[in-house]
Structure 1
Amino acid sequence: MSTEVKSVLSVKRAARRCPFGLTAASVFAFAAILPTSAVAQEAGSAKSPGDHSQSTDARIAAKAKTTTADGNEQSSAPTEPSNEIVVTGFRQSIANAIDLKRSNDSIVEAVTAEEIGKLPDASIAESIARLPGIAAQRVGGRAEIISVRGFPPAFTNVLLNGRVQASSNYNRAVEFDQYPSELLSSVVVYKTPDADISSMGLAGTVDLRTIRPLAYGKRTIAVNIRGQYDEGGGRNADMPKWGGRGSISYIDQNKDGTLGWVIGYAHLDAPSHTDHTKNWFYDTYGGTTNLLSGQEVFATNNRDIRDGVMATLEWQPSDTVHSTLDLYYSRFKQRTINRGAQWYSDQYVDDGTFSNVQSQTIGGTDFGVSGHFDNAVPIIRNDNNRRDDELFAIGWNGEFKMDDRTTFVADLSYSSNKRDETYLETYQGYGAGPYQTRTTDGYDFSIPQNGFPQFTGFGLDYADASQVTLGDRAPWGGWGHDGLLKSPHVKESVGAIDLGLKREFGGVISDIDIGINYTHRRKTKTVTELDLFLKNDREQVPIDPQYLVSPTSLDFAGMGSVLAFNLPAAFSNYYDEVQLQDINHFDKAWGITEDLVTLRAKANIRAGKLHGNVGVQAVIENQSSDGLRIFDTTSPPTISPVQISDRYTDVLPSLNLIYDLNSAMRLRFAAAKVMARPNMDDMRANLLPSFNSSVCAGSPGCTPGQEVHPWSASGGNPYLQPWRAKEINLALDWYGGKATYISVTSFYVWLDNYIYTQALPYDFTGLPEPATASSIPSNVIVSPEGTLTAPANGQGGYARGIEMSASLEFGKLTRLLDGFGFTGSVAYTDASLDKAAASQVGNLPGLSDWVYNLTGYYEKNGFQARASYRYRSGFKGEVVSLFTNLGYPYILADKQLDAQIGYTFPDNSNLAGLGVQLQVSNVLNSPYRTSYTVNGTQMLETYEEYGREWLLGLSYKF
């Protein structure tokens, strides 16, 4: 019996005992029969020199380095046989990523650039989302935030060259579209902690990395230019469907190789669109059939304009001094025009009536799926939104070798991020006249279970500028205004100083790192909210023709076109602004300050085939929350600022061990205690009180001497402590060549606590009772004790999962397939929260049971082609919803297919260095869908399509 067959049988027998099951056994059996010449030699056990994050690389410097085509350093492990073909392009990026994964003591995933200014995807979030166990959430068609191992985005920390990044998000999640992919050389995702890195996340840590010029080692200028076409865009005529992006990078060094520099610039002017419908709610109206009773249809166009600059100055005059200065700046402008219609199809509104209804039983419940509705009053919307984000980051790192065995490292950094938004919405309707002149209409409807609902046969023309006028057309007396203007402003700054000392010993404990990190973070949020009222006593008037633009088509939902006009130009001529006095307005402004001191120590272990590290961090956390507290229930209320502080300490041990089973296969084990800081809006010190003056009303009422509790409140919790957890990881890796490997990882996370909304006891002593309190009988006792509904730390739960990833070069099986390859992953995650937490939270935000990514590629003789498919099952998302608050809709399964082809001219060509590329994103025009429960049945709520995005471009490197 051959050795290969024996190996396969042995692995199959092991599968009966292996917790990973037959699937894991099968892939490793496949690995066992691959040609032995593909097996890589054993890599150096030291941490990868490619790990050039400032807070880690300088403290864990490698003894020997080589440089890849894109400037990433790699370990100088024994090389492949000399007849091995040198790979380039996409295969080289896979090989570099595998090398980073292999040579890191922590369990990590990585993606690296194929060439300068060219990561595998147009968006860095999309590149990250192709890694095992990581999923992206689309916002307006773009991959914007990610979830690692099914945890909420806030459970993942984001670094730039090893340094903490400020976020303009309402919470802590970093939005990756602020980081041009063209300015990054690689991304490393830590799934297990490294005690040497401060600010590790509970679910993981994402380190975005830029090029190191001295490691790159040569002068290079790289230029990338791509034109972009938004297929299906242009419904709003005043927004483009053509755009483009470009970048230029310059890398050089002095003749001695002691001073190197790189500067890069990237520009984006990208159009996109959203065709949107939403089914608001259903009602039976006393019958048995559920009828859709509220809906909206909108056509949205976006224009994203981003300018990013990156620069690095690296100086290494000797082996004892190494200094690096990094600068990063990004200005991201987003312009959005949103036009459409929304209305009630409700029998309680305007004597509305349904007729010719055809019903269908879905999940045991009867739903009206088609029919006719009379007496609807569509509200036409013209909205204009603007958002500006400005990110700045600077960091300096110095590494000083004090003697042959001792190295001192200092790192200073500062990051700031600010956002200014304006949401401007206005209402129009059919017919002119005084306020609340309303004209009814009828239409036919068809409501599919999946796809755009169809609303056809309207009798009125909602694009007729002589008949459609400004004004509130909502029922029951209207919404109380003719439009809204909301302007959230978010600003965050993070400053840090990191000091470390490394001492080499040799032996089992090869070296020890100790250090201290101080990080100061300040984040503020304010919201300006204005009601808009039409001039002249809110008289409904038509738009002056000078402001009109071509009508917006809603034909994707069968509705025809609606009136469109230039809202910013017309605004001041038609509207008066009035400060909103709703008490909820005062719950949206807050400020959070955090001062964290992290003491750390780590010992690196080298004992033959066993290596890794053991470490501990002690994090001393000081937090302070500024907010507004309302001291009465009048309108406008009496408010007063308040500041509340708290302090606590976390001790976080960690262990990462690797055992080399042979030259190509290794077993990894990791265990740690981890944490994630609370959401900042949950930490606000705001308090909104409420007094129930009717506490004694009704039967049986109150008895003399009875104590009543009319006080209650809602708000934040400035005493919130972090999410805390313990985790273990077990992984088996096989490395079969430059771009070939297979890995299986299992993990289990015990959540010690979870933050969710709870009813907390609260003392309202000192708050004056409102005038309505006189309705409470004088012979009862009014207690100041009540309840505060706010986020609080409660019991946790668990999350567990298994991840499998593989990258295969098919040419290692047969020369007939030379150039073809595959890389992909599949992950399954299961989670459960404590009963009390689950009743409030439901599923973990970001948790998809299944996530998988598949990429097939061909790359040979300068020609490149690949297609990538990613899937994530349904999950609870995190989006900005009504009134600029965070919402958590249930997002249905998301599927994405992207493809590209290209050609790079060979070195012996007159066009050497030139490449051409055609890229198509969202090939399947996959929809974004949310659902909600109607009588126990999941029904479609939101349905959106974004169209395909085409990119055609040139790259040139010399």
Structure 2
Amino acid sequence: MTTRRDRTRRQPFLLHPLAGACALLIVGLSSAHAQQAHTATEEKDMEQGNKPAVTSIVQDQQAPVATVNVSGIRRGIEAAISIKRNATSIVEAVSAEDIGKLPDTTVAQSISRLSGVTTQRSKVNGKATEVSVRGMSPTFNGSLLNGREQASTSDARSPEFDLFPSELTGSVLVYKTPDASLVGQGLASTIDLRTLRPLDFGKRMLAANARKERIGYGSGSDLGSGHRKTLTYVDQYFGRKLGLSVGLTSFKQDNGGELKFDSWGAATSPIEYNGQTVQAINGFMAETSRRKSERDGASVTLQFRPNDKFRSTADLFYSRGEEATKKTGIEGAIVGGTGIYDPNAVLTDATIENGLVTAGTFSNYKGDVRNHMFSSKDRLLSVGVNNELKVGDWRITNDLSYSKGTKRLSNYETIAGQPGNTPESQLGSITYSGFNGSNFNAVRYVPSLNYADRNVALLTDVAGWGGGPLSPQAGYLSLPTIDDKVQAIRLEAARDLELGPLAGVRVGVNYTKRDKSRLGEEGRLSIRNGDGYASATIPGSAIELAGPTGIPVAAFDPTGTLGTIYDMNRWVDATVLARDWTVGEKVTTAYLMGELAGEVLSVPYTGNIGVQFVDTRQRAAGNQVDLQNCSGNSAATCPSSIKTGGTDYTSVLPSVNLTFDVGNDQVVRLGAGKQISRANLDNLKASMNFGLQSATELDPSLTGFSGNPELKPYEATALDLSYEKYFGKKGYVSVAGFYKKLDNYVINAPRQFDFAPFVSANTPLPTTGAYAGSTVGVLTTPTNTKGGNMRGIELSVNLPFSMLANALDGFGIQAAHSYTDSSVNLPVSGFVNPSNAPVFNGAVSSIGLPGLSKNVTSLRLYYEKNGVQISLAAYKRSSFIGQILDYRSESQFTFIKGETIADAQASYEFQGGMLKGWSVFLQGHNLTNEPFREYTSDPNVITNTVTFGRTYSAGLNYKF
């Protein structure tokens, strides 16, 4: 009896106890002289580029990227098929088509071609950065690099995928079912990114790539440009005992211009006209966004395999990036006002149709000229060492890992226009025309003032958002920093058995320590050395068009104006301080898993059965304002203290995976298990804030918001069934169904709370209702509440057309479709906190499962022969609830309109002569020029549009 051991994943390296790794390395070195390095068969396999068969669970045991003897598109397809077919779980995979070349320019974009996998584009840059699997939010994925949990540079647990250049990724695996040895798994899936393994290659290889990009065709603004460079080197030494791979990548982009229009929720407001009340456009925001970004990445892997008793692999991954987005535009209310300096309008010269103002002129328009700069700098370092030693029948593995991510953000907003003390008689007006009740972004808007004139658009407090002349707000500045550190150590012992259906056993323990924080300052900007109505002239002479409206406005870069034009007045109120937090976790995972192999009714099967015991100890800290001694809005007049909390809990997670070989290259897979996903770290914060006088739906009361350090994880029970038909290693078709019972979901829920320890004698209390004179009120906190069910079906086809006719040799298709439904129904109020709320808050009362698109389809047609490669791909997903970042860089839910995105690429590789090894290529992305669109309740009424345009790139590859 044999055990199928193509485990298709890696194990976690850690802290600073590298002593364990070094000890095993020394043992291996000491035995190297007493062992033969490889058998003759193994050497022959290596020379041919094939990987020798080993029954190892360590990193270099996985299905190889470079074992197939074809190249290009088919190489990637066949390698991915091998991983999928030999896995003991239900797995989807994508593999590099060539050394340092995934099928797409981003990792997220590549895996979006897989069945049941979708991506969300960033509202900022239009790139696919977040991955949803089986209709669940990206936060429900476990994300690994070479089998190890990674630090994140966002509020979420999972790393942002744009930190991992696709050129440094050899393959990506998406585990849809859990098994006991898979540490760091998620509720929806576990996504494992893998870098190259040098001993998987049969010879020295070097590949270089350079490309130029033109960005923004069809965006309505000017074009941008970019370039990417990649170098990959793989080599083997000392009779293939030592292997080295090095990957370097660098890119820079200037996006040109992107046009954005925000209709303020596609809302209208009442206004009086000729004695009747009519409805008119409430307001709008239009801007042009210009972004510059760059990223450098490096990946180094060193493998040491002196004999068949010992092997060691060391990995290093590093990524650094910078991004700066300059937004220039105009915003303002048309009917009403947005602040105490913004009076209501008077309507004249109007055209009324069925009570709707289709055209008209509105007085008292105070346009806010926006010049904002959002920038970030991030760093991610990941280091890992994995050693395996064979002792008798046992394989002993230890793995140590360290990952640290840091992101520093700067959100700089400035406002220009007419100062707050400008008389109404001197205020401007705005005229709009062409409105039909829903086409907000197609309306023509014409202001009476020239906002490109620096005598009109002055840097000042335009609307009185700060509360008046005693606290002017001419802008806003936020400087948060996110730090995350993950350290882990793992020990495992495994051996083969012949004990009935038990073909092998493995037992292990993994310890992970994670520390994450979000800290920073924020506050209002005011003009230096001036009173509450002070103003300053916008520097320079630049002019920009405000998005698709074409309204010219004065433009400048506010970077460096703090201390010269502006002073920052730091906010220290409870709401702002509550945004700072630190969270620490210590997670110990012990597992026992048996490898299965046998027959049932003459049908052979393989698989695994096991259980994880996950012990979690979480601690959190946050700010608590001392309201008993708070008399102002500064650190001196409103002191705060650190509040802490936490909890311990243990989860028991059984799982089973069975693969039945029903003959004729057909397999049936069954998977079942218990799964958990810990809540986002910002939900665990210990900070609390409350309003001194607020109101509930029933009675006035003190109301507050807080994190919940005692929050338990999301839990689910999952069942999967899959049928797969393979056609050798060339293609397959599959049908899969799944069912998940979500035992709970985390939302913000209110509960009774006594604020007595946090109030003073001067705190005003309710004077009426059930809570009159009481310090008892309502505290809203993240809470584990009921979940629901979700189910889905997934279809995929991956076939070369040569199976149909020899004349079609070189042609092929990859297609996938998934349908997912869920009974989960969540109140919108459960996602509201004191400083943030979903974009659709107030428009709908309840929502379905965030991240869920009911229908997702992907299609890729390709041709590859005689050095020619052509690929056409399309991706479609239906509307869904996604997450974007607000102006404070905090996550915010919104409805995102369904989209269809098409890509194409073509290349030619020279087959001989002096140019052998060289290839040229062309690529086009977002050929459908699909914009990013939001809505609040009706998918046909778009409230926010960002147009990115098409991107084209051309370049050269060289490989030998």
Partner of 1:842: 847
Partner of 1:277: 261
Partner of 1:924: 928
Q: Secondary structure at the match of 1:771?
A: coil
Q: Secondary structure at the match of 2:73?
A: helix
Pick aligned residue for 2:856 from 848, 851, 862: 851
Partner of 2:398: 410
Amino acid in the other structure paired with 2:586: D
Counterparts of 1:74 and 1:189 in 2: how far apart (Å)?
24
Q: Which structure 2 residues correspond to residues 233-632 of structure 1 after superposition, within 5 A?
A: 241-272=224-255, 273-281=257-265, 282-285=267-270, 290-347=279-336, 350-354=343-347, 371-403=360-392, 405-429=393-417, 439-447=427-435, 449=438, 452-474=441-463, 480-506=472-498, 508-538=501-531, 541=535, 543=537, 547-548=539-540, 550-554=542-546, 557-608=548-599, 609-632=604-627
Counterparts of 1:813 and 1:518 in 2: how far apart (Å)?
52
Q: Secondary structure at the match of 2:649?
A: strand
Deviation at 1:574, TM superposition (A): 1.2
Counterparts of 2:801 and 2:476 in 1: how far apart (Å)?
59
Amino acid in the other structure paired with 2:514: R
Deviation at 1:335, TM superposition (A): 1.1
Q: Secondary structure at the match of 1:182?
A: helix
Counterparts of 2:577 and 2:82 in 1: how far apart (Å)?
52
Contact 2:461–2:474 at 8 Å: present in 1 too?
A: yes
Question: Judging changes above 3 Å, is the alpha-carbon distance between structure 1 residues 665 and 541 closer, same or farther for their aligned structure 2 residues?
Answer: same
Amino acid in the other structure paired with 2:681: M
Q: Which structure 2 residues correspond to residues 682-693 of structure 1 after superposition, within 5 A?
A: 682-692=683-693
Contact 2:766–2:774 at 8 Å: present in 1 too?
A: no
Question: Judging changes above 3 Å, is the alpha-carbon distance between structure 1 residues 737 and 430 closer, same or farther for their aligned structure 2 residues?
Answer: farther
Say what the alpha-carbon RMSD is for the aligned residues.
3.3
Contact 2:507–2:591 at 8 Å: present in 1 too?
A: yes
Counterparts of 2:554 and 2:396 in 1: how far apart (Å)?
66
Question: Judging changes above 3 Å, is the alpha-carbon distance between structure 1 residues 577 and 76 closer, same or farther for their aligned structure 2 residues?
Answer: closer
Which runs of no fewer than 5 residues in structure 1 stay unpaired?
A: 1-43, 78-84, 699-707
The normalised TM-score by structure 1 is 0.86
Q: Secondary structure at the match of 2:109?
A: helix
Question: Judging changes above 3 Å, is the alpha-carbon distance between structure 1 residues 527 and 779 closer, same or farther for their aligned structure 2 residues?
Answer: closer
Q: Which structure 2 residues correspond to residues 81-96 of structure 1 after superposition, within 5 A?
A: 87-96=70-79
Amino acid in the other structure paired with 1:920: G
Question: Judging changes above 3 Å, is the alpha-carbon distance between structure 1 residues 254 and 693 closer, same or farther for their aligned structure 2 residues?
Answer: closer
Contact 2:3–2:595 at 8 Å: present in 1 too?
A: no
Question: Judging changes above 3 Å, is the alpha-carbon distance between structure 1 residues 657 and 459 closer, same or farther for their aligned structure 2 residues?
Answer: same
Q: Which structure 2 residues correspond to residues 783-794 of structure 1 after superposition, within 5 A?
A: 783-794=774-785
560-569 or 650-659: bigger deviation: 560-569
Q: Secondary structure at the match of 1:567?
A: coil
Question: Judging changes above 3 Å, is the alpha-carbon distance between structure 1 residues 68 and 155 closer, same or farther for their aligned structure 2 residues?
Answer: farther
Deviation at 1:628, TM superposition (A): 1.4
Q: Deviations over 1:563-603 (max 9, x none)?
A: 11232254542111211233211110111100011010111
Q: Secondary structure at the match of 2:99?
A: coil
Deviation at 1:842, TM superposition (A): 1.6
Contact 1:727–1:749 at 8 Å: present in 2 too?
A: yes
597-606 or 827-836: bigger deviation: 827-836
Question: Judging changes above 3 Å, is the alpha-carbon distance between structure 1 residues 145 and 756 closer, same or farther for their aligned structure 2 residues?
Answer: same
Amino acid in the other structure paired with 1:887: Q
Q: Deviations over 1:795-845 (max 9, x none)?
A: 111111111111111121112222111101111110122576997662221
2:939 aligned with 1:895: no
Partner of 1:150: 135
Question: Judging changes above 3 Å, is the alpha-carbon distance between structure 1 residues 691 and 774 closer, same or farther for their aligned structure 2 residues?
Answer: closer
Contact 2:702–2:766 at 8 Å: present in 1 too?
A: no
Q: Secondary structure at the match of 1:523?
A: strand
Partner of 1:939: 941
Deviation at 1:447, TM superposition (A): 4.8
Q: Which structure 2 residues correspond to residues 633-712 of structure 1 after superposition, within 5 A?
A: 634=630, 635-636=632-633, 637-692=638-693, 710-712=701-703
Contact 2:116–2:817 at 8 Å: present in 1 too?
A: yes
Partner of 1:101: 84
Question: Judging changes above 3 Å, is the alpha-carbon distance between structure 1 residues 73 and 881 closer, same or farther for their aligned structure 2 residues?
Answer: farther
Counterparts of 1:525 and 1:415 in 2: how far apart (Å)?
17
Partner of 2:865: 860
Counterparts of 2:695 and 2:502 in 1: how far apart (Å)?
71
Question: Judging changes above 3 Å, is the alpha-carbon distance between structure 1 residues 896 and 444 closer, same or farther for their aligned structure 2 residues?
Answer: same
Q: Secondary structure at the match of 1:889?
A: strand
Q: Deviations over 1:721-747 (max 9, x none)?
A: 000000000100011143311111100
The normalised TM-score by structure 2 is 0.86
Partner of 1:81: none
Deviation at 1:924, TM superposition (A): 1.1
Counterparts of 2:51 and 2:939 in 1: how far apart (Å)?
54
Q: Secondary structure at the match of 1:573?
A: coil
Counterparts of 1:68 and 1:945 in 2: how far apart (Å)?
50
Question: Judging changes above 3 Å, is the alpha-carbon distance between structure 1 residues 358 and 746 closer, same or farther for their aligned structure 2 residues?
Answer: farther
Deviation at 1:300, TM superposition (A): 0.6
2:901 aligned with 1:909: no
Counterparts of 1:744 and 1:70 in 2: how far apart (Å)?
35
Counterparts of 1:114 and 1:211 in 2: how far apart (Å)?
13
Counterparts of 2:296 and 2:530 in 1: how far apart (Å)?
45
Counterparts of 1:729 and 1:573 in 2: how far apart (Å)?
62
Deviation at 1:956, TM superposition (A): 0.5
Counterparts of 2:299 and 2:411 in 1: how far apart (Å)?
31
Question: Judging changes above 3 Å, is the alpha-carbon distance between structure 1 residues 310 and 839 closer, same or farther for their aligned structure 2 residues?
Answer: closer
Q: Secondary structure at the match of 1:877?
A: strand
Contact 2:263–2:440 at 8 Å: present in 1 too?
A: no
759-768 or 97-106: bigger deviation: 759-768
Question: Judging changes above 3 Å, is the alpha-carbon distance between structure 1 residues 389 and 914 closer, same or farther for their aligned structure 2 residues?
Answer: same
Question: Judging changes above 3 Å, is the alpha-carbon distance between structure 1 residues 582 and 71 closer, same or farther for their aligned structure 2 residues?
Answer: farther
Counterparts of 2:773 and 2:420 in 1: how far apart (Å)?
53
Amino acid in the other structure paired with 1:381: R
Report % sequence identity: 32
Deviation at 1:142, TM superposition (A): 1.1
> Size of the alignment, in residue pairs?
880
Which runs of no fewer than 5 residues in structure 2 stay unpaired?
A: 14-23, 25-37, 56-67, 832-845
Partner of 1:20: none
Partner of 1:29: none
Contact 1:600–1:618 at 8 Å: present in 2 too?
A: yes
Counterparts of 2:171 and 2:323 in 1: how far apart (Å)?
26
778-787 or 345-354: bigger deviation: 778-787
Contact 1:436–1:472 at 8 Å: present in 2 too?
A: no
Pick aligned residue for 1:177 from 146, 162, 168: 162
Deviation at 1:766, TM superposition (A): 2.5
Counterparts of 2:645 and 2:407 in 1: how far apart (Å)?
25
Contact 2:516–2:582 at 8 Å: present in 1 too?
A: yes
Q: Secondary structure at the match of 1:120?
A: coil
Contact 2:246–2:300 at 8 Å: present in 1 too?
A: yes
Counterparts of 2:818 and 2:671 in 1: how far apart (Å)?
18
Question: Judging changes above 3 Å, is the alpha-carbon distance between structure 1 residues 323 and 777 closer, same or farther for their aligned structure 2 residues?
Answer: closer
Q: Secondary structure at the match of 1:452?
A: helix
Contact 2:359–2:433 at 8 Å: present in 1 too?
A: yes
Pick aligned residue for 1:823 from 814, 835, 846: 814
Contact 2:12–2:149 at 8 Å: present in 1 too?
A: no
